Structure 1
């Protein structure tokens, strides 16, 4: 078989001089190529626009391709030319794909993608990474899917995602790879616990119990602040609120003439539970269950209540096994926000009980930042201790 260089020389000779029917001149890299206007217009709407619309190329029947390599354009013309038997291999697919994309040559683009998909089957790590980048650059969905699957088979890691040209895959791509690898492991070693079935529009771990009358629903001789939440009133002690929460302190500094502050985060029951926790006369600081604890953990962060934050963290660490996949991913989300590294790691380890598809389907998983999601997937795959 002739080499690419020999093939190119033969093809270049075909187009270097005008033929009887050639009617368009292509100038590239200071050299001239003669071709056929009709063929160019048939395969490429971009060339058709140049040669048939009100552009200078229409008048001169000359196309200047600045910034292109002469050898690459020769290969492109040979592919277009029906008189040439032209086979696209891996080298040519890599060469012609950018041109097919730029000049909107659909058939050539599809052929290049098909060739590269075949080449991926036994591709090395560097090949897979390079083709992932190529597929993302030109939005080649089939090649992306094939490359992601191949990368998952190779057990690609973040620190491996650098080839000799020092290019790195996107974090979003790495996440997809890790998710695919987790599914492959599940197929090999068996499925984990089935996902929790939620009713339509049912949020996980929210306090959905009926509103109960709070012990703070009536004022006393010592209460000096009224808290309005869910259009209901709670009465409490300003000094406790100031000492326990910087956010409450800020609100108290702007208190109305009626001595009222309004809270738009948290339900009536949840705020009442927080007040009960902060009340020094209440000896029982326990919580009902983990379902009520996660919303309180969130509110401890919203209102910067350190003592509640620590109590929630300790409770969740001890009772983490009671959380379903929705609760676990929400716990990870909140722990990351509250910089609770040990709680976050504990919750990540607990996700191994579930299928990756169940974890990835939760709303909180979708809200995780990329670094946390990658860390979670590595825990899921047991790639880090």
Structure 2
């Protein structure tokens, strides 16, 4: 090659440094350099590799129509150069190229574009898969945050309600009946310790995601504890039916639903008695918690967050929650959880 040929070869390679930032401009620049190179009568060689790299980059970057137009221009320019303009272009006395050469050039252009399109499709597919994985991870993180928030709400709402009632009892009896006030304070201490333990267990899942819990999740086997805690708050709870053995997730959901329902009775109802009815029938667990009222506030039956949490727990298992005032007064929570117990297997 003479110096002008080497300059064209060098320029067509240097512009590739900007191929990802300006893929279309670089592609058209390499096409122009290649056509000048071939028009000057220089032999085929590495210069064709530069336009191949630029065309591949343009297609993969999504500029596929510009890439097809540029490669079509390259082929048409080559056709014009070797079959029409060769008479006036160097070297002198040159003859027209055979048409079989055009078939080879056309095949090379089509093959290059086909490979580029395949790479583009694969790249877009990988990008979609990465985005889908990222969305799935965000969705799992949101679900986990919702689960933890629901657990914390249920634990704290129930415990603080009992503590609030016992604190009121202790203050009222502090002077008249110190012994009864001491009992109330003891209950507050025990309940706060239990609440701290459950909150710590929930937060441990944040510090060590995926690790096995240190203590088993609560279930209906702890129903006597709820009855005892309600009794310490002045609420007599009657349990009808025997809790069946349930899978851990369903057992936790059932326990939290009953816990939240009793917490709402303590906080928002003047009733002194409540009933919990448990029934397993046709592969479904039916939980009924009601009281005779009357309501003691505008938010009778519970806060929106509490009822929403119960509905979310039931919906996660494919179940339903019905909550509302009874015709004869009071409030009722009725949950149906479609589950398979060990007795059903």
| Shorter-normalised TM range | under 0.3
TM-score, normalised by the number of residues in structure 1: 0.23
TM-score, normalised by the number of residues in structure 2: 0.25
The structure with the largest helix share of the pair is 2
**Which one has a bigger Cα radius of gyration?**
2
